[in-house]
Structure 1
Amino acid sequence: MFPMNVFEQRRQRAWMPAMAWRPVSLAGLVAPAAAAALEEVVVSATRSEQRLSEVLADVTVLDGEALERSGALALEDVMAKVPGIQITRNGGPGADTDLFMRGANKQHTAVYVDGIRIDAQNGSGGAPWETLPLESIERIEVLRGAAGALYGSDAMAGTVQIFTRRGETGFKPHVSVGAGSYGTKKGTAGFSGGQGVWDYALGLSYADSEGFDAKTGGSKRNLDKDGYVRKSANARVGMQLSAGQRLDVTALTSDSNAGYDSRAQGNDRAVRTLDAYGLNWQGDWTSAWRTRVAVSQSRHGYDTWTATHYRTETLLRNYLVHNEWRSRVGTFTVLAERREDTLENTSLVGGDARSRHQNALGLGYGLHWQQHAVQLNLRHDRDSDFGGKNTATLAYGWDFAPHWKATASVGTGFKVPTLFQRFSKNGDSSLKPEESRNMELGLRWSDKDLSFSATAYRSKVDNLVSYEKGLGSCGENYCYMNVDRAQLEGITLAGKWRTGMLKWYASVDFQNPHDVDNDRLLKRRSKRFATLGVETTLAGWTLGTELQAASRRFNDDAEAVKSLGGYTLVNLSASRQLARDFTLTARIDNALDRDYTLVKDYATAGRTLWLGVKWIPW
């Protein structure tokens, strides 16, 4: 079990909200769960603070220092390096982006920013990755595997929790500027600090790019450059009310205006907005009993300006009360949660706005005893449209030898159709929720300079919602229908090690996400993909080389012959302290200038160069 003295020691440090734990630096950009220091703490695996070394789920942690050193320009570029994840994008940065975790659809991964749920009720659903800014991110936790018993609807494949910077005692400003290929420019500024019981952080960013022609073929190709402008701001303010009592307020706003091609002529634009706000209170009543109360709201808008104007907007409100008791016989959790979704869209049938809500009750129990550990979570969600849904997760871990841990788990999940899928002219109000059953086995080995993990999984999805051609129940040429059964199976290998001055990290995925009825690979997903990276310090420079590779994919579920070819990319990065307060970062993506395709008829960037300078006074 979790030792009581550890709990009390952390309490003496004036507990932060669960979403505000500070990161521990990792050797590389990506590190498997078993590789972290013993005292690193995560919250995504159980929705409570837990030593990373004791986590039974498949978790990856990315820290802010490595994110900055990498020089990446977009969050989706960072996520593409995480084991078990593939990214596709309809063109360059700012374009529609999909994240496939373990081969699952984008909408099967629940996404949070500082505890605020980010989601959309449009056609595909899921988080709008193209609106989430990379700037000001301090830490990312990725949980792979069924998490419906923890997070409710959507978390069939896992969760991504993003944490922004938090202020510390003193005052610390920062400014960065940079420029690169395709006329790309970016600037950021902000400050953080704290005094007495208060701490604060503010970040601003602006980026624009001339871009490149997004379309390479098709009837709607427009020979123009499809650039983008993205502006964002975020703020966090915290107050230590008393010993063991803390209040945090978080705000995020992002605006993206990107070009795309929907017709042969004209300057077509897609404007995406995201506004998110959260209030979190956490209190320790005793050394063993903690309560957290959180209220949040996120609003996602999507406007297209073509020959006509089209707009859709999602409003999501979430309310959470989470109680945790730690005792000598284990850790007990009880949560009550309410989620409210509203969609506004002029193409909805029966009105331009639709809404629904879900009320949930969750129970959890965790025990660590000698070399054994068990985690059990149960949850009941009652949806205003679909009634009750029960989900469960059971996990077991065994430290069978020094440095070794074996894990096994089973879990269930569900995903209710989006409001657009049910009530648009292409929708079907009788759609059923998607349901999943997941099981996995894991093996980990970790030591100071070497760690390794292997995770095998199989997930079966019923009632998969698909956008199908052919006259369906909606009466249109394309309709949303429950037509597919999918099976997602595979194995993920990940590790990091050191040889002399070189720090290595690597991951490889072998997967088979396929439609059970026709045994075809799900669209835009590879059966094999891998990342290999190495980093070293030489003459004051931190140098990195990275290789990303993926096998062929099919652009559509129905395609069985013509495929999108596999690819191998080489990326280079460098950073150096120029003076006491200045740091230079440089990056070359696709250094070999490979021509590759992620989505049929859409272009990808060639060789791109980026140079940036950051000022942070000591």
Structure 2
Amino acid sequence: MFISDLPPSPVSAETVVVTASRTAEPLADTPASVTLLLPDRTERLGEPLLADLLRLVPSAALAEAGPAGSQTQLRLRGAEANHTLLFIDGIRANDPAAGNEPRFELLSASLGDRIEIVRGPQSALWGSEAVGGVVAVSAAPRSGAEAMAEGGSHGFGRVEGSAGYDRNGLALGLAAGLQGARGINAFAGGPGDRDGYRNATLRGSLGWTRGPLTLTAGGFAIRARSEFDGFDPNLFVRADTADESRNRLAAARLGARFEQDGWAASVGLSRLGSRNRNLLGEDEQNRTSGRRDTLTGDVSRSFTGGAIRHRLTLAAETNRERFVASDIVYGGLTDQRQRRRQSALTAEWRGETGPVVASLALRRDHFSDFADATTARAGALVRLGGGWQVAANWGEGIAQPSFFDLYGFFPGSFVGNPGLKPERSRGGELSLRRVQGPWRGAVTLYGQTLRDEIVDAFPSVVNAEGRSRRKGAELEAGWSPSPLINLTATYAWLDASEPAGRELRRPKHSGSVAADGIAGRLSYGAALSYAGARLDRDFDLFPAPLVRLRASWLASARLGYAVTPGLELFGRIANAFDSNSTDVVGYRREGRTAYAGVRARLGR
């Protein structure tokens, strides 16, 4: 479901957003551009990996370097791949051991069934990496138990199970999943060995509420393996190789929240750890690991002054990161052991009077390795009547250099630059929306600039002079007259350029159509996404000339039949048009594939 989805009255917990502000608010009351994919839709579409659902989001360019399980990068509104901030169950989840990028290829459906995407710069609320936007994955507590099994093309198999309890102030949740496939040959140069993947996920949550106090605990663990085709070690061109990456990502969080008489206060402590190993055949080439410890606290006060309802929020945050890199091939020459710290103070005001909602946020970040930074954000929404709204936003974003950018070393080809500055962005948007009734929609225009962009300058990286510019338009429409049909459509136009020319892997035109619903014993979901032509570079040739990737259509569908209220049989098809286009030069995705499975529920 999309920004135009209004919650019923009273407000449904499903349509409260948590990343468009430092405190939760109804979707229809936020000035920000938000896409919300709710559990009903994610289940009916049935995608095993959550990244595939992001193709339904306006201005979201997804680049998968091969079949399922391969490296997957998201570029929101033309921003860079490391300019999206990812939260999993409230835990900051960008990988400190992989360039601070979100690891979208590791996110299986077992991690959650609710995805919230906020587009535009959000660093005044959430700090570094929130340049193009924020993605939050979560799963609401449920009662009962569920199990699912599925199999299909290319040796694909998937099993998942979950159990939950939510009663009398106590909420428990546990979920686990295992999926994988033998895959296809990822190298687009001809026949070769299969490149498959394996993904195992475990997630747990605990919540206890007594009066105004809520205590929470939660965490997740991911263990994955992905086979891929890399570069010939002698010719230095892409080839059908036996490369493999093995990844672990795990995190845990403790939290407490107190609410009473207009006051709310919370504190949270989390730790995220990652480990990535790269192998060629059975021989390890290198490994990286990272850790992030985060402590957050905030206090807010809601009150009425005259005709204005106010909410003031003050938040503090501190992060400590560690990075370790080691190699086998070069005898330890690329080894690194680095640490850094970051802390921040954030203030946010939100006011509402009559048809007007306004917000202001200001954040000051202190970095141990760079100059301090201040970011701001302002937004306003005006209800015009008849379900119509107009909204405007302006914000700033920052992205700190990765550990590898600063300190990395690779003999003969790369030396880190400890003098780098954080990348800085700012931009605004203007939206006209209709948010009531079965018909909904939005038209949004936006513009954004990026300065101090970190770019390659052999054998290192530097902050580029000049500015990169992104501007675009987004159209969204939705129609939900009954449970039988929930139809959405999007279109996005993007113009993204840097001083050297057009940005890579960003289609100028993109869009999607999706529908889901239920009719008696039948449930269905179907999606069609379009990515227009875009540019990439062919590093097999010198000096890496530009290559035009052709437009692609990806279609998928799922149909389920409830044999009994607790037992469902379903079938699913992916890439129904058998598109052979690619997101990244030299790599291909699976063709048309088909799957079948069974789902059993107890107590839901």
Instruction: Give the TM-score normalised by the residue count of structure 2.
Output: 0.90
For residue 260 of structure 1, what is the amino acid of its counterpart? F
Q: Distance in 1 between matches of 2:383 and 2:523?
A: 36
Distance 1:185 1:493 in 2: 37
Instruction: Deviation per CA, 1:114-150: give whole Å up to 9, x if none.
Output: 1100112346431111222211513221111110100
CA contact (8 A) 2:89 2:219 kept: no
Give, in angstroms, the shift of residue 560 of structure 1. Answer: 7.3
- Structure 1 partner of 2:554: 569
Change over 3 Å in CA distance of 1:120–1:538 after alignment to 2: closer
Pair 1:496-2:502 in alignment: no
Residue 432 of structure 1: SS of its match in structure 2? coil
SS in 2 for 1:130: helix
Q: For the residues of structure 1 that align with 2:519 and 2:116, how far apart are their CA atoms? A: 30
Residue 361 (structure 1) aligned with residue 345 (structure 2):
yes
Once the two structures are TM-superposed, the CA of residue 397 in structure 1 deviates from its matched residue by 1.4
Question: In structure 1, which of residues 283, 302, 319 is the aligned counterpart of residue 295 of structure 2?
Answer: 319
What does residue 210 of structure 1 align with?
182
Counterpart contact for 1:35–1:496, Cα < 8 Å? no
- Structure 2 CA distance, aligned partners of 1:314 and 1:92? 26
Matches within 5 A, 1:43-122: 43-122=18-97
Shift in alpha-carbon separation, 1:498–1:166, aligned structure 2, 3 A: closer
Residue in structure 2 matched with residue 178 of structure 1 by the alignment = 150
One-letter identity of the residue aligned with 1:533:
A
Give a deviation string over 1:19-54, Cα, whole Å, max 9, x none.
Answer: xxxxxxxxxxx3224544351321111120212111
In 2, Cα distance between equivalents of 1:130 and 1:411: 29
Q: Which residue of 1 aligns with 2:236?
A: none
1:304 and 2:278 are equivalent in the alignment: yes
| Cα offset, 1:232, TM superposition | 1.0
Q: CA deviation at 1:584?
A: 2.2
CA distance in structure 2 between the partners assigned to 1:574 and 1:503 by the alignment:
15
1:585 alignment counterpart: 570
CA distance in 1, matches of 2:219, 2:519: 40
Structure 1 gaps, min length 5: 1-29
Contact 1:34 1:445 in 2 (8 A): no
Where 2:455 maps in the other structure, the secondary structure is strand
Supply the RMSD in Å over aligned alpha carbons: 2.1
Q: Is the 2:351–2:358 contact (alpha carbons within 8 Å) kept by the matching residues of 1? A: yes
Partner of 1:31: helix, strand, or coil? coil
Match status 1:487 vs 2:469: yes
Within 5 Å, which residues of 2 pair with 1:288-303? Answer: 288-303=262-277
Q: Which residue of the other structure, out of 194, 197, 200, is the alignment partner of 1:225?
A: 194
Contact 1:222–1:261 (Cα < 8 Å) also in 2: no
State the alpha-carbon separation in 1 of the partners of residues 577 and 269 from structure 2.
48
Output the CA distance in 2 between the equivalents of 1:489 and 1:254.
36
Does the aligned pair in 2 maintain the 1:533–1:546 contact within 8 Å? yes
Contact in 1 for aligned 2:147/2:162 (Cα 8 Å): yes
CA contact (8 A) 1:503 1:535 kept: yes
Residue 602 of structure 1 corresponds to which residue in structure 2?
Answer: 587
2:3 aligned residue: 32
Q: Distance in 2 between matches of 1:251 and 1:544?
A: 30
Post-superposition offset of 1:156: 1.1
Distance 1:580 1:364 in 2: 47
1:161/1:123 CA distance change after superposition, 3 Å: closer
Q: Is the 8 A contact 1:376 1:395 kept in 2?
A: yes
C-alpha distance in 2 between matches for 1:124 and 1:200: 34
**What is the TM-score of this pair, normalised by structure 1?**
0.88
Give unpaired runs (5+ residues) of structure 2: 233-238
Q: Which residue is 2:129 aligned to?
A: 154
Moved more, 53-62 or 573-582: 573-582
- The structural deviation recorded for 1:491 is 0.9
In the aligned structure 2, how far is the partner of 1:157 from the partner of 1:442? 17
| Count of aligned residue pairs for this structure pair | 571
Instruction: State the distance in 2 between where 1:401 and 1:167 align.
Output: 36
- The equivalent of 2:491 in structure 1 is 508
Q: Aligned to 1:555, what secondary structure does the other structure show?
A: strand
In structure 2, give the amino acid aligned to 1:236: S
CA distance in 2, matches of 1:74, 1:481: 35
Quick one: distance in 2 between partners of 1:452 and 1:230?
A: 37
Which residue, out of 535, 551, 557, partners 2:532?
Answer: 551
Q: Which amino acid aligns with 1:331?
A: R
